[in-house]
Amino acid sequence: MSLNIPPGVVTGDNLLKLLEHARENGYAIPAVNCTSSSTANACLEAARKNNCPVMIQVSNGGGAFMCGKAIKDPNAAAAGSVALAMHVRCVAKYYGIPVVLHSDHCAKKLLPWFDGMIAADEEYFAKYGEPLFSSHMLDLSEESDEENIAICVEYFKRLTKMNIWLEMEIGITGGEEDGVNNEDVDPEKLYTTPEQVYSVYEALSKIGPMFSIAAAFGNVHGVYKPGNVKLSPEKLGNHQAYTKEKINSPLEKPIFLVMHGGSGSTDDEIALAVKNGVIKMNIDTDTQWAYWDGLRAFEKEKHDYLQGQIGNPEGSDKPNKKFYDPRKWSRCAEESLVARVGVSCEKLGAVGTYAARTDAVSAKNGTLKKQTSPYLLVAAGVAIGSIVTLRLRK
């Protein structure tokens, strides 16, 4: 089960090798939505503790938050996403594990954000020979299958020039996330057919091998009571079998599949999805709760020390700085998040798949020749991104 790739952010051939290793050895990598350096660091820490790879992903809303909620510039989400990626780039090597930098759901209306990140990738690639991000996701499932696949094809052609992985969605994940609301969608659309999956494979495989498919099998974003949602991970096995027959593949699982709406899923549902070729599972709602829960528990325990700068149960003149210092309570939130990501690592069978390296700091991968301003990376591509978006919408 040895995985011979360097620690730090992985791209290109090393990313393909990593995901092939996951598929061949029956495990999936936890992909956690991060909105700050604090949440990203906690995910990296969890991966190191569990000796496994991890995916740090940013959504449009997460990128905008990272840039600052006061900023109303239309490029704020791209700037914040790049800023988070640059942070992870700088620190990932110190954790000694492989890290995948990924952007999450991008609906058609959010393509300017997508274009801004790709422009940053192109700028980074020109200087360092690899992209800033490892992979990006297009979620055009609200569009017709024909338009969805056609737009993915055009972007994939652009991404393959930089060896960037593309994740796409066909079929719809229910619930609501990042401004895309599918709470009232036709239940039949929550289940992708084998023919739909193969149509994606047929179109994208002509361009390159670095793509994955989020095929809906009843998934819903958010947390729900058991029994309220019917997950059918066995359908993923049908997709694999259908494509295997179509292309006469020697592989039992020729498609890289991903699972969305993982929060709240049962252990058996997750295990069956992984068995059927899921190599990545998104986690957001559960990790959001875990981060808050760490803070909640700290406030409950230290409540009487957090009512003023001076004065607590130990005396009216006692200072409380060591309790309200953001480094104290945010660390409690991080520790809770670390533990929750560890649970997902275990459920996905990822624990122990990569021994965290102690020599990672000196490893070549992840070491930048020089720093590049995130603002400059995004600003350089704003015009290009806008033009590309307009052309695709014609």
* The one-letter amino acid at 47: A
135's tokens? 């992979």
Task: Quote the longest CA-to-CA distance of the chain.
Answer: 77
Question: For residue range 209-245, what is the model confidence (pLDDT) as tens digits?
Answer: 999 999 998 866 555 455 555 788 999 999 999 999 9
Q: How far apart are CA 20 and CA 15, in angstroms?
A: 9
Task: Quick: pLDDT tens for 344-362.
Answer: 999 999 999 999 997 766 5
Mean per-residue pLDDT of the chain:
89
Report whether pLDDT(152) > 80.
yes
d(CA 99, CA 363): 14
- pLDDT tier for residue 370 given thresholds of 50, 70 and 90: very low
pLDDT of residue 30: 97
pLDDT, tens digit (0-9, with 9 covering 90-100), for 113-123: 999 999 999 99
Residue 52: pLDDT over 50: yes
pLDDT per residue as tens digits for the range 308-339: 999 999 999 999 999 999 999 999 999 999 99
- 3-state secondary structure at position 294: helix
For the question of whether the overall pTM of this predicted structure is more than 0.85, the answer is yes
User: What is the percent of the chain where pLDDT is above 70?
Assistant: 83
Active site residues: 104
The answer to whether the CB of 160 falls within 8 A of the CB of 182 is no
Nearest to 118 by CA among 107, 128, 98, 103: 103
- % of the chain at pLDDT higher than 90: 78
189 phi, psi to nearest 5 deg: -75, -10
In this prediction, residues 95-110 reach a mean pLDDT of: 97
Q: Is the pLDDT of residue 82 over 50?
A: yes
Q: Which helix (H) or strand (E) holds 215?
A: strand 211-215
